[in-house]
Amino acid sequence: MKQTGAILWLTGLSGAGKTTIAQRLLQELQARNYSVELLDGDLVRTHLSQGLGFSKQDRDINVRRIGFVANLLSRHGIIAIVAAISPYREVRSELKQTTTNFIEIYVQAPLAVCESRDVKGLYAKARAGEIKHFTGISDPYEAPINPDIICQTDNFTVEQCVNQVLHYLERQGLMSLVENNKSSQRN
pLDDT tier at 187, thresholds 50, 70, 90: very low
User: What is the rounded average pLDDT of the residues 103-118?
Assistant: 96
pLDDT value at residue 37: 97
Give me the long-range contacts of 94-98 (CB less than 8 A, separation at least 24).
94/64, 95/7, 95/9, 95/63, 95/64, 95/67, 95/71, 98/67, 98/71
CA dihedral in degrees (87, 52, 113, 23; nearest 10)? 90
User: What is the rounded average pLDDT of the residues 92-96?
Assistant: 95
- Please enumerate in sequence order all residues whose Cβ is within 8 A of that of 168, keeping only pairs 6 or more positions apart, or say none: 103, 148, 149
Is residue 14 part of the annotated active site? The answer reads: no
CA distances from 107 to 75, 87, 164, 176, 178 (A): 25, 12, 12, 23, 26
Q: Which of 49, 74, 86, 184 is catalytic?
A: 86
* Domain spans in the chain, listed from the N-terminal domain onward: 6-110+142-177
Least confident segment among 14-23, 39-48, 54-63, 124-133 = 39-48
Residues 25 and 162 sit within 8 Å (Cβ to Cβ): yes
- Pick 6-110+142-177's CATH classification: 3.40.50.300, 3.30.300.20, 3.20.20.10, 3.40.50.720: 3.40.50.300
pLDDT value at residue 50: 67
